[in-house]
Structure 1
Amino acid sequence: MPHDVAFRRLPGDFTADDLAARVLHRDGLTLIVDKPAGLPVHAGPKGGANLEALFGALRFGLPRDPALAHRLDKDTSGCLVLGRHRKALARLGKLFSNGRVSKTYWAVVRGNPEADEGRIDAPLAKRSPTRGWWMAVDPAGQPSATEWRVLKRGAGLSWLEFTPLTGRTHQIRVHAAHIGLPLLGDPIYGAAPAGGPPLHLHARAVSIPMREGKPPIEAQAPAPAHMSATFAAMGWSEDAERAAPPYV
């Protein structure tokens, strides 16, 4: 199945077989899958379709389902890391909490930065005590840093690569808006209109030093269909295709 088919269907139509077809890396400890945009990683208070409910298709001979080593927002696509058993999850948890997992994101933003690259150092805190996911730049918040560089520009939009150096909730979305470059399709921090484009944020690549003294585990995820369509409209699709490997 082409990697973008699931994006053209409702999240509830995404099947276990669809998920199994989106494995980017598999070994005895970890799995890395290409999460589709629009599908939450786990069920919310009201239930509903979610990725975790399909993890039974990812056992690949082991007695238990794999489990999430971290999270991606519902509308973010790309590399999602899973641990295949308890020891693997403990190892992954330490790596993520100690900032040793390298993550690279692609985003399309509104605006054109003057520089070609930069770094955002802006502490983040919860904006509301009752909405834990709603963040804001706050001098009293947790230290937060994100590096960025421009990949392409055109017609009031820019394709950026973001590297978060810390792992705060909504970090890239808040930081991008903070410097005047809100993500295309972000209804929270970018004030995107209802019925507008979906969020243009993609977890492009991940690198995990799972075993000391050995090369890190690495994976890359192709851009989702809605971002590919934007790349094509902007004349950037050739660059994206060269950078997007097939599934393994």
Structure 2
Amino acid sequence: EQASLIRESQYQKAEYKRLEKEWKKRLEELEMEVRHFDIEIERLKTERKERSAALQRKLFEQFRMLNAQGEVKDLYTIFEQTVQKVPPAGAGECALPKLLQYAYLHQLKPLAMAEFWWGDSPKNEIRHHGYYYPSCKGKCEPILQHMLQGLEIDENPLLNPVHEEEELEIVFEDEWLLVVNKPAGMLSVPGKAEDRDSVYHRLKKKYPEATGPMIVHRLDMATSGLLLVAKTKEVHQDLQAQFANRSIKKRYVAVLDGAIIKTEKETKPIAEKAILIAKDTVSTKKTAKAERTGSTGRIELPLCLNPLDRPRQMVSSEHGKEAITEYQIISESERITSESENTFNESNRIDESERSINESRKYTRIVFYPLTGRTHQLRVHAAHPEGLGCPILGDELYGKKADRLYLHAEYIEFRHPIYGNILCIQKEADFHKKI
């Protein structure tokens, strides 16, 4: 009986090896078939891509855009001078290029033009019904640079120096660092146009012996307020590290263009925060006793650049980076609109009747505590329907234009890189008593 079991075991082992070899061979044959299909799929994908590109090129070559001088260029020729080199999908289909093309084809001379948004805002971008917006940079700007040649157009206001004669205010200074009050309309650091006025240019000229990048963080050109500057490379690195680990505390004050109606957005209460009501201060105390008023909340909307409409940012759960803002509503009041603001309002809105009575009469004073530092974070979190749904007054990117953007970085708290003490610096906004 034992011999029988041994023979049966040997047979089963041999059968197992035979079956293993047979199925291994079968699997290899199937893998070869799959590889054949994979190769064919990749070939078809490549062919589809090539055919699609050829068709797109053929279509874009049909877009032969005129300008006021009678010159003609197709879209491929126009976009050869851009970073992307090829026209993006939908190029040439926007309203303004089509209107200009019609005018040139019918020997008409354009005198003025404007584009406004009609309807609800897209989910990711911020648009307000009836508000004027400039053409997008990704698709329209290269086309319009060609089509507007030969027309008399206004100078770009961004190229005109706004604060050329104005002295840059220094709020705090010692031998290692300084804090300046950047005026609205001035760049923190130079952009593409290297000769444009900026805080960096001013301070590099004032402190030629300073080393390192100097500017520790940035404020949007339209935003005013406290900007931290290092005089040495080592101090700059230390302060940058404090920003990276989020130990630096900042507070912004803003005026919203309207009243916040959607109180259901205030779903995430935040801890009690001390509001410094005093005027300009420089202190080494870490806390300040003050009153807390109004509603508080927290906004978490991931942000990324809108690639076709720089420098606008957009909300994107897929591509956006984490962006968190805590806020506190200070007051809501009736707004007495100045004559200059009325002019701005009328130039940036097509129909006053389209605007709610509540929005036209109210403004909201609010304090922001950004926990992250994304580009345009406070502006988008204020204006987006899933944020506060109420743009900052004077925000021409996400709301409507006024005499300035009513956003000011009024307070910053950080550890001194050399002495180790905590510095608390505050500068009141120049619009504090204006509204």
Normalising by the smaller structure, the TM-score range is 0.7 to 0.9
CA distance in 1, matches of 2:419, 2:205: 32
- Cα offsets for 1:142-178 (capped at 9, x unmatched): 1111011111211210010000001101100000012
- Distance verdict in 2 for CA 1:210–1:112, change over 3 Å: same
CA distance in 1, matches of 2:190, 2:418: 34
CA distance in 2, matches of 1:209, 1:129: 40
1:228 alignment partner in structure 2: 432
Q: Given that residues 189 and 218 in structure 2 are in contact (C-alpha distance below 8 angstroms), is that contact kept between their aligned partners in structure 1? A: no
Q: Given that residues 11 and 39 in structure 1 are in contact (C-alpha distance below 8 angstroms), is that contact kept between their aligned partners in structure 2? A: yes
- Distance verdict in 2 for CA 1:150–1:130, change over 3 Å: closer
- Distance verdict in 2 for CA 1:222–1:45, change over 3 Å: same
Q: Given that residues 111 and 180 in structure 1 are in contact (C-alpha distance below 8 angstroms), is that contact kept between their aligned partners in structure 2? A: no
Q: Does 1:50 align with 2:192?
A: no
Q: Does 1:173 align with 2:374?
A: no
1:147 alignment partner in structure 2: 326
Which of the residues 136, 139, 146 maps onto 2:314? 136
The runs of 4+ residues in structure 1 deviating greater than 6 Å are none
2:396 alignment partner in structure 1: 187
2:305 alignment partner in structure 1: 126
Q: SS at 2:164's partner residue? A: helix
Deviation at 1:214, TM superposition (A): 4.0
CA distance in 2, matches of 1:130, 1:35: 26
Q: Does 1:34 align with 2:181?
A: yes
Q: SS at 1:11's partner residue? A: coil
Deviation at 1:100, TM superposition (A): 1.5
Question: How many residue pairs were aligned?
Answer: 210
Q: SS at 1:188's partner residue? A: coil
Q: Given that residues 111 and 158 in structure 1 are in contact (C-alpha distance below 8 angstroms), is that contact kept between their aligned partners in structure 2? A: yes
- Distance verdict in 2 for CA 1:110–1:130, change over 3 Å: closer
CA distance in 2, matches of 1:87, 1:208: 16
- Cα offsets for 1:58-111 (capped at 9, x unmatched): 53xx82267100111111111000011010011011111221211100000022
CA distance in 2, matches of 1:120, 1:212: 35
Question: Structure 1-normalised TM-score?
Answer: 0.77
CA distance in 2, matches of 1:214, 1:82: 17
Which of the residues 78, 81, 85 maps onto 2:232? 85
The amino acid of 1:75's aligned partner reads A
Structure with the larger RCO, 1 or 2 (CA within 8 Å, 6+ apart): 1
Q: Does 1:199 align with 2:405?
A: yes
Question: Structure 2-normalised TM-score?
Answer: 0.45
| Greater percentage in helix | 2
Q: Does 1:11 align with 2:163?
A: yes
Q: Given that residues 239 and 417 in structure 2 are in contact (C-alpha distance below 8 angstroms), is that contact kept between their aligned partners in structure 1? A: no
- Cα offsets for 1:36-79 (capped at 9, x unmatched): 111112222223222221114653xx822671001111111110
Query: Following superposition of structure 1 onto structure 2, how do residues 59-138 of structure 1 map, counting pairs within 5 Å?
Result: 59=207, 63-64=209-210, 67-113=214-260, 114=263, 116-128=295-307, 131=310, 133-138=311-316
Give 5+ residue unaligned stretches, structure 1.
1-8, 232-248
CA distance in 1, matches of 2:242, 2:255: 28
Q: SS at 2:247's partner residue? A: coil
Q: SS at 1:112's partner residue? A: coil
The amino acid of 2:162's aligned partner reads L
- Distance verdict in 2 for CA 1:99–1:106, change over 3 Å: same
Between 160-169 and 114-123, the greater mean CA deviation after superposition? 114-123
The amino acid of 1:159's aligned partner reads R
Q: Given that residues 102 and 207 in structure 1 are in contact (C-alpha distance below 8 angstroms), is that contact kept between their aligned partners in structure 2? A: yes
Highest Rg: 1 or 2? 2
| Greater percentage in strand | 1
CA distance in 2, matches of 1:56, 1:128: 32
Deviation at 1:26, TM superposition (A): 1.6
Deviation at 1:188, TM superposition (A): 0.5
